Structure 1
Amino acid sequence: MKVQRKTNTTKNNKFKFNILAGSLLAVVSVAALASSHREAPSITTTPKADGTDFYMFRSYETNRSDFITLIANYQPLQDGYGGPNYFSMDPNALYEIHIDNDGDAQEEITFQFNFRNNLKDIALPIGSGSNTPSVSIPLIQAGAVSTLSDPNLNLNETYTMTVVRDGRRNGNRTLAAKTSGGSTTLEKPVDYIGEKTLGNAAAYQSYADAHIHNVTIPGCAAGTNQARVFVGQRQEGFAVNLGTIFDLVNAPASAISNRSSANANAAAVNSIQDKNITSIALEIHKDCLAPSTEKVIGGWTTASLRQVQIGDGVPAQGHQTAEKVGGAWVQVSRLGMPLVNEVVIGLKDKDRFNASKPSGDGQFLTYVSNPTLPQLISMVVPGLQNTAPTNFPRTDLLNVFLAGIQGVNRPANVTLSEMMRLNTTTPPTPIANQNTLGVIGNDNAGYPNGRRPIDDVVDISLVAVMGGLCVANGTTNGLGLNTVPGTSLTSACNPNSVPLGQTSLTLHDAVAQEQVMFLSRFPFLNTPIPGARN
């Protein structure tokens, strides 16, 4: 079932105390302009390893509420017609989802994904006579495709999922296996080449669903060790007016507008809704991820490449890459909360952030305590001149960036670090009742308590970066935002430090996240855009 949310134009400008705490989510998003697409210089040269979005939420699929869904997206801005090789995953890369379940800024569980391209080398007899040669076809399909490992597929992608305990580079690792049959080789659907090859959207979805695998997670207790995994192309789920935003917010004044305006969602275009991405989606029992008394988990994704890559002057036949690789894994992409590297980290440190671990986030503290985006917004957006908050260091942003929100998603014993955090005891909200503003909209199952596809991280982040949290904090430090746990950092986070005042609580980017189509079931992101239609 596909679900499209209606625009809510009746927002209450008075937020309750516990709801306003939710605005803290935007700490790292700081002016959410686009999720993590092509965010650093080096990653633009290796797009197959570029992590774009990370979602982590309790499942709202019927009868699946005890499960956590993790979705890691890679390979941004895919055009459906991008053949003839389309967007296979990199067999020389290592894709990972990391889980910290005790607040120590170290991963306790890592899910590693390795891919393989299997070329059948379908050949056709071309010519006549007894010596007619068989010639390899130039395409990845030789006819219509509709089944798992379809015989018409010339190139079949498979992958393995390895579960690593207590550090991603140690020997405590086991391959996840299919619950039925025990195979550790998992199949990935071919990208949506077009309707002639793969049928209409319903047919492609049925084909893709055949690639949802039931697997057993090693190391989890019986009753919590059954999971589902899917890797494949999906429609881009993030809504943003990408080109306009990065051209110094080159839009009408209404593009950064008051959410109470009835026409707020009509002012800008979602410029990437005709694009696809590749998702690694895992649905796993909450007690498998949080088996102890600590029920707040942290998560982030990475991609790594081998330290040495040498061009092969005479590439081998097949469908592997034309490089020889070796050496240790080198991390080239990292993503937890959305937009951190894209619009928070300075240009000189973007590659460094992509290579970093949460335990080393102290080196980037100044980018959050003294962010540049509010000042840039106040310089270039009509109507927002000289409106950047003045409470330095920005303890309002530092709280959520480093620790999570007290009473919402902060671990009991937290080591300050940046990652997405989810309270696994918060029940999911049915999809029909979800609020795109998440916690700030009185929906505690949404962003920043994890992140669901429908959550409008842009709007919530605009509220936070332009001082909405300090307005909510009041003159009596009602939200406790004047300090940062475990540090001596303090600031006067109150309405007097927010030149924009109450208006900061209703900022809106005019792009309708709630109009994006999603599925109401795993893997939740919508069927991709086909390369061609009948």
Structure 2
Amino acid sequence: MLLASFGSYASSHREAPLISNDPLADNTDLYAFKSPDDPNSITIIANYIPFESPEGGPNYYNFGTNVRYEIHIKNKTTTAGDDITYRFTFSGTNEDPTTFFNIRLGKQNLKATYKCEKSTDGGQTFVTIVANGVVPPANIGPRSIEGKTVGLEAADYNSLVQSAIATASSGEKIFCGPVDDPFFVDLAGAFDVGNFRPEGNSTNETKDGLSRFNVHTIAIKVPVSMLQKDGKGVQQAANILDPDYVIGVWASASRQMIKTLYGGGDVGYDGKYVQVSRLGMPLTNEAVIPIGMKDRWNSVTPYGGNDLQFAKYFTNPELALYMDDSQFGTAVPSLNALRIQSKSLGSFDFRNGKPGLYGLKGNPALDGTALAEAAFGGILLPDAASPRAVDLLPIFYTGVPNLAPYQLATGKNNNPLAAGKPFIHNFLPTLGDMLRLNMAVPATPRDDAKFSSLGLVQAAVLGITDPAYNGSTDLQFIPNMDGFPNGRRLEDDVTTIELQAVSGVVLAAVGLFYDDATAEAPVSQQLLNVLTFTSGPTKNDVGLKAAFPYVQNPWRGFDYPEKPRF
């Protein structure tokens, strides 16, 4: 008998040491967005199990039967933990153990079902809202799925997906099953010391490292009124940035502490459940937390000040060293377009270890802004060597308030501390890593000519440069205000957005312009360099669905590789 204690794991696509040995418990991505076809609902998608080859038989990928998968929602700052928790546990059945095929004669082996439970009291009690949910099988091939007699005799694979969408007893729509991995990124280039393509290697075209791979998704479509802290619908919002409509979302996976391997090959699990994986903001553990802390990061929740121990990695991010020629910038040519402000407005230096805006701390000019000591100055201006506490830290740990200086440069007359044009309020100051979404913000139609995978960065560009929005400081809907980091849409190019953010694009958007800017020409060449930078692929390898669950059907093993399905 072997007793194995599970330690802390990490999230996303195999980016931490321990989780690479436990893919069934590995969070790959988390999304939270206003449903594009339903203004009264929010869709949350938590993906698990990275790099699923569609051809991976005979034991195809499936949710772990000894893993507790959870989606956590925070809508109040007055409570200590979750305000809503969705818990999923999966079961597997072999309908015909006499065959080595996954599907044969209308029967299915490794057939998965699930139970979904919901808690609204911080996890003290749970109520079952889906008792016997169906997980579609792997998309093996035509004989297995559509085949008469020998297969499942389905009309097509999509019919299995549609029939698996459950309506919970409490009203949510839920889907659990294999799908195309919607994330897109040049993984090979990124981890070759930032050698993004084609910028960093002109002999190679950029490559989506997740192209034609599947993942397993848990997708929930929830009415806004069910997530809003007072039960209000979106029609009751005071405006499109109503602070009472902000939620925080994160996902996790937990295992029991003891795994027992018996002589006959059976496996047993015992002990309390411990968290082995979590995910809130994309790429946090992948590209911000250093390797020596990745496993520790994933062992804790974002509550109770746990994440403050990691704050230094945001206030002085490693990636910023490769955007600074006085450090390692010249060694990473693919990031040449990204350079951080060292003398913004002639004096403010935001490079690692520099003071940033700390020189203004306590200055009466900060009164009435988020940087005042009576507001959040203690967090945003902690010391003279944490320059990115003013922009990166709130993006990840608190959300961004609709307060000066966090308004667009439009109407500020070159004073970044003045009131400008509002474009975000997803402020939920729990000081922990989670996706934050203001549910009052409308969805940008996916066929809108101004829809952009650059999310809130593009909303800022439009708010500063587009005559339809830059004529006043009035609050108005700007396309892509519903994009990352105000939640995360499936289409959002989060890798590019986060690299742009590390290079200071948010600072520039609120009036702390790049070094080459002038009062007469704030849209400088350096700003254009940052805005036109891409990290490689800019969209998924297949189109998305127009209706829930929005993610595309999984790639078919038999047809692999098949033609793109845009």
**What TM-score do the two structures reach when normalised by structure 1?**
0.75
Q: CA deviation at 1:516?
A: 3.9
Q: CA deviation at 1:383?
A: 6.2
Name the CA shift for 1:417/1:42 in 2 (closer, same or farther; >3 Å): same
Q: CA deviation at 1:196?
A: 2.4
**Structure 2 residue 232 is matched with structure 1 residue 310:** no
Q: CA deviation at 1:49?
A: 0.3
Name the CA shift for 1:401/1:323 in 2 (closer, same or farther; >3 Å): same
Is the contact made by 1:73 and 1:280 (CA closer than 8 Å) also made in structure 2? yes
Q: Which residue is equivalent to 2:86?
A: 111
- Alpha-carbon distance in structure 1 between the residues aligned to 2:551 and 2:428: 34
Q: CA deviation at 1:202?
A: 8.0
- Alpha-carbon distance in structure 2 between the residues aligned to 1:116 and 1:45: 21
Q: CA deviation at 1:323?
A: 2.0
Q: Which residue is equivalent to 2:285?
A: 341
Name the CA shift for 1:287/1:199 in 2 (closer, same or farther; >3 Å): same
The structure that is strand-richer by fraction is 1
Is the contact made by 2:196 and 2:535 (CA closer than 8 Å) also made in structure 1? no
- Alpha-carbon distance in structure 1 between the residues aligned to 2:334 and 2:256: 48
**Structure 2 residue 454 is matched with structure 1 residue 437:** yes
Q: Which residue is equivalent to 1:173?
A: 126
1:454-465 matches, cutoff 5 A: 454-465=491-502
Is the contact made by 2:224 and 2:439 (CA closer than 8 Å) also made in structure 1? yes
Match of 1:358, SS?
Answer: coil
**Structure 2 residue 248 is matched with structure 1 residue 298:** yes
Name the CA shift for 1:233/1:412 in 2 (closer, same or farther; >3 Å): closer
Q: Which residue is equivalent to 1:421?
A: 436
Q: Which amino acid aligns with 1:243?
A: A
Q: Which residue is equivalent to 2:237?
A: none
1:29-178 matches, cutoff 5 A: 36-61=12-37, 64-103=38-77, 106-122=81-97, 136-143=98-105, 151-168=106-123, 170=124, 172-177=125-130
Q: CA deviation at 1:255?
A: 4.9
Q: Which residue is equivalent to 2:140?
A: 193
- Alpha-carbon distance in structure 2 between the residues aligned to 1:49 and 1:365: 26
- Alpha-carbon distance in structure 2 between the residues aligned to 1:449 and 1:251: 26
Q: Which amino acid aligns with 2:109?
A: N
**Structure 2 residue 219 is matched with structure 1 residue 281:** yes
Structure 1, 245-254 or 504-513: larger mean CA deviation: 245-254
Is the contact made by 2:302 and 2:434 (CA closer than 8 Å) also made in structure 1? yes
Name the CA shift for 1:340/1:412 in 2 (closer, same or farther; >3 Å): closer
2:387 to 383, 393, 404: 393
> Residue by residue, what CA displacement relative to the aligned partner does 1:459-488 show, whole Å, maximum 9, x if unpaired?
2112111121222333599xxxxxxxxxxx
Structure 1, 385-394 or 426-435: larger mean CA deviation: 385-394
Q: Which runs of 5 or more structure 2 residues have no equivalent in the other structure?
A: 1-10, 148-153, 233-243, 324-328, 341-349, 357-385, 403-422, 460-479, 515-520, 561-566
Name the CA shift for 1:384/1:234 in 2 (closer, same or farther; >3 Å): closer
> Residue by residue, what CA displacement relative to the aligned partner does 1:199-234 show, whole Å, maximum 9, x if unpaired?
4998111121110111122xxxxxxxx111100100
Q: Which amino acid aligns with 1:429?
A: T
Q: Which runs of 5 or more structure 1 residues have no equivalent in the other structure?
A: 1-34, 123-135, 144-150, 178-183, 218-225, 258-265, 316-321, 478-494
**Structure 2 residue 558 is matched with structure 1 residue 532:** yes
Q: Which residue is equivalent to 1:480?
A: none
Match of 1:84, SS?
Answer: coil
Q: CA deviation at 1:379?
A: 4.8
**Structure 2 residue 159 is matched with structure 1 residue 206:** yes
Q: Which residue is equivalent to 1:350?
A: 294
- Alpha-carbon distance in structure 1 between the residues aligned to 2:63 and 2:334: 44
Is the contact made by 2:194 and 2:335 (CA closer than 8 Å) also made in structure 1? no
Name the CA shift for 1:467/1:152 in 2 (closer, same or farther; >3 Å): same
RMSD: 2.8
> Residue by residue, what CA displacement relative to the aligned partner does 1:31-82 show, whole Å, maximum 9, x if unpaired?
xxxx921121111111000000001011112xx2211111000000100000
Q: CA deviation at 1:337?
A: 0.7
**Structure 2 residue 355 is matched with structure 1 residue 381:** no
- Alpha-carbon distance in structure 2 between the residues aligned to 1:369 and 1:244: 25
- Alpha-carbon distance in structure 2 between the residues aligned to 1:476 and 1:458: 22
Name the CA shift for 1:467/1:525 in 2 (closer, same or farther; >3 Å): same
Q: Which amino acid aligns with 1:157?
A: A
Q: CA deviation at 1:310?
A: 1.5
- Alpha-carbon distance in structure 1 between the residues aligned to 2:428 and 2:549: 32
Match of 1:451, SS?
Answer: coil
1:231 to 149, 171, 176: 176
Q: CA deviation at 1:505?
A: 3.3
Q: Which amino acid aligns with 1:369?
A: T
Match of 1:508, SS?
Answer: coil
- Alpha-carbon distance in structure 2 between the residues aligned to 1:532 and 1:236: 18
Match of 1:284, SS?
Answer: strand
Name the CA shift for 1:475/1:527 in 2 (closer, same or farther; >3 Å): closer
- Alpha-carbon distance in structure 1 between the residues aligned to 2:55 and 2:500: 37
> Residue by residue, what CA displacement relative to the aligned partner does 1:312-346 show, whole Å, maximum 9, x if unpaired?
2213xxxxxx4211111110111011000011001
Q: CA deviation at 1:411?
A: 5.6
Name the CA shift for 1:255/1:203 in 2 (closer, same or farther; >3 Å): farther
Is the contact made by 2:280 and 2:435 (CA closer than 8 Å) also made in structure 1? yes
Q: Which amino acid aligns with 1:393?
A: P
Match of 1:229, SS?
Answer: strand
> Residue by residue, what CA displacement relative to the aligned partner does 1:482-509 show, whole Å, maximum 9, x if unpaired?
xxxxxxxxxxxxx99x996653333211
Q: Which residue is equivalent to 1:503?
A: 529
- Alpha-carbon distance in structure 1 between the residues aligned to 2:18 and 2:541: 33
Q: Which residue is equivalent to 2:190?
A: 245
**Structure 2 residue 401 is matched with structure 1 residue 406:** yes
Name the CA shift for 1:137/1:248 in 2 (closer, same or farther; >3 Å): same
Is the contact made by 2:76 and 2:229 (CA closer than 8 Å) also made in structure 1? no
- Alpha-carbon distance in structure 2 between the residues aligned to 1:256 and 1:65: 43
Is the contact made by 1:253 and 1:381 (CA closer than 8 Å) also made in structure 2? no
Name the CA shift for 1:249/1:47 in 2 (closer, same or farther; >3 Å): same
Q: Which residue is equivalent to 2:274?
A: 330
Is the contact made by 2:247 and 2:428 (CA closer than 8 Å) also made in structure 1? no
